[in-house]
Amino acid sequence: MPNSKVIAPAGRHPKTIVFLAAPGAQILDVAGPFQIFVRAAELFLREHPSQKSPYNVVLASTTRKKPVLTNCGLVLTGTATFRNLRGPVDTLLVAGGSGLEKAARDQELLAWLRAAARRVRRIGSICTGAFLLASAGLLDGKRVTTHWKWAADLASRCQRATVDPDPIYIRDGNTYTSAGITAGMDLALALVEEDLGSSLALRVAREMVLYLRRPGGQSQFSAALAVQASDRKQIEEVRSWAFDHLEEDLTVEKLAGKAGMSPRHFARVFLKETAITPARFVERLRVEAARRRLEESHDKLEKIAADCGFGSLSSLRRSFLRVLHVPPADYRSRFTGLRPN
């Protein structure tokens, strides 16, 4: 169960959260999660003015220079480099980016990472930051993730780890890995929830207009986006039509008819173009629609199940567990702040 208690009583030192970034870092892998921790500290102090800040958030460079030139051309002014970082570190997170190949050949940096991993309470990565942890041998024997685009490469380079390309983040012991960009913010919110409770984490999400805190088991993949990537006009037209007719019986035969193909040919073309079967596509499209309804409305689960084409509440539950690994009622209460109906 999420921790609902505050763990930063007066008199204790702030927990130091270090973001380690190499030149060419993806700026959102740093700035988004960094801001989550900063905002959490601000909200905590607003509610507990007599307490000390729960976090000290630091950007450390992998080079001898503190500034980090990101891959979009903006420069982030770091607090330190890994060489002169002083004091205890609670959480160490490695940001993704294009400069990690060079960083992974720096034996001094790798040795420092291995030593740091023995001292910190939590260690993790955002997007391709997992490659640096892998180079240091810190993912061996772990179940991990990264951006789906780089998952196969990570699996080939780190054969002692189990790489799962689907979840947005994974915790294995004290090791946390996430997909890219906004998934790093989801991971940061999960860490804040561990430390300061679900209520404060939810307020951080709302104040930053992250109206939903996604569970780590949620898939990186969107059914709608998968089909939008198809070059075939018929497939895109089927996607658009299906999205507007979720309450209907969306069989392969019916979808094939809309595409002007035989069911067998349509199923084969659809799988080739989108890497997902028509049945799985329809299920994920319905789950995405139901998820939005859970986030944005107070509608009863039975109505959402009917409107989104599930037919029954039990069918809705089965699909949510299969796709998002969480029941719809729990999803609503845990990730939107609305009580189950």
Of all residues in the chain, the percent with pLDDT exceeding 90 is: 65
The predicted structure's pLDDT at residue 208: 85
**pTM tops 0.85, yes or no:** no
Question: Mean per-residue pLDDT for 280-307?
Answer: 89
The average pLDDT across 76-103 equals: 95
Nearest CA among 113, 170, 179 for reference residue 142:
170
Mapped onto helix, strand or coil, the DSSP state of residue 298 is coil
Q: Looking at the predicted structure, is the pLDDT value of residue 24 above 80?
A: yes
Q: What burial class does residue 42 get, using C-beta atoms within 10 Å of its C-beta: 0-12 exposed, 13-18 middle, 19+ buried? A: middle
Q: What is the mean pLDDT of residues 212-230?
A: 56
d(CA 126, CA 22): 13
For residue 286, pLDDT over 80 is answered with yes
Per-residue pLDDT at 48 exceeds 70: yes
Token code pair at residue 60? 């450390």
What pLDDT is attached to residue 218?
60
Looking at residue 120, what DSSP letter applies?
Answer: -
- Does 56 have pLDDT greater than 50? yes
- DSSP conformation letters of 167-199: BSEEEETTEEEE-STHHHHHHHHHHHHHHH-HH
Catalytic residues: 127
Residue 79, pLDDT > 70, answer yes
More confident residue, 207 or 305: 305
Evaluate if residue 219 carries a pLDDT over 80: no
Which of 49-53, 107-111, 203-207 ranks highest by mean pLDDT?
A: 107-111
Candidate from 63-77, 279-293, 301-315 with smallest mean pLDDT: 279-293
Sign of CA pseudo-dihedral 328, 334, 335, 336: positive
Tell me how far CA of residue 157 lies from CA of 130, 136, 293, in angstroms.
11, 12, 41
Report residue 331's pLDDT band, with 50, 70 and 90 as the boundaries.
Answer: confident
pLDDT confidence bin for 293, thresholds 50/70/90: confident
Using left for φ > 0, alpha for ψ between -120 and 50, and beta otherwise, residue 97 falls in: left
Give me the domains of the chain, ranges plus CATH numbers.
15-207 (3.40.50.880), 223-335 (1.10.10.60)
Residue among 108, 63, 60, 110 nearest 86 (CA): 60
DSSP characters over 215-260 = -TTSBS--HHHHHHT-S-HHHHHHHHHHHHTTTS---HHHHHHHHT
Lowest mean pLDDT, pick from 143-147, 218-222, 331-335: 218-222
- Which is more confident, 15 or 326? 15
| 3 state SS of 338 | coil
What is the C-alpha to C-alpha distance for residues 103 and 106, in angstroms, rounded to an integer?
Answer: 5
Smallest CA-to-CA distance from 183 within 293, 92, 96 is with 96
Supply the Cα-derived Rg of the chain in whole angstroms. 22
- Range of weakest confidence among 5-9, 48-52, 251-255, 259-263: 5-9
> What's residue 240's pLDDT?
79
pLDDT exceeds 80 at position 279: yes
More confident site: 89 or 285: 89
- Average pLDDT value over all residues in the chain: 87
- Residue range 242-255, pLDDT digits in tens: 888 999 999 999 99
Q: Is residue 246 within 8 Å of 290, Cβ to Cβ? A: no
**C-alpha dihedral (264, 270, 273, 276), degrees to nearest 10:** -120
Band the pLDDT of 11: cuts 50, 70, 90: very low
Dist. CA 184–CA 32, nearest whole Å? 7
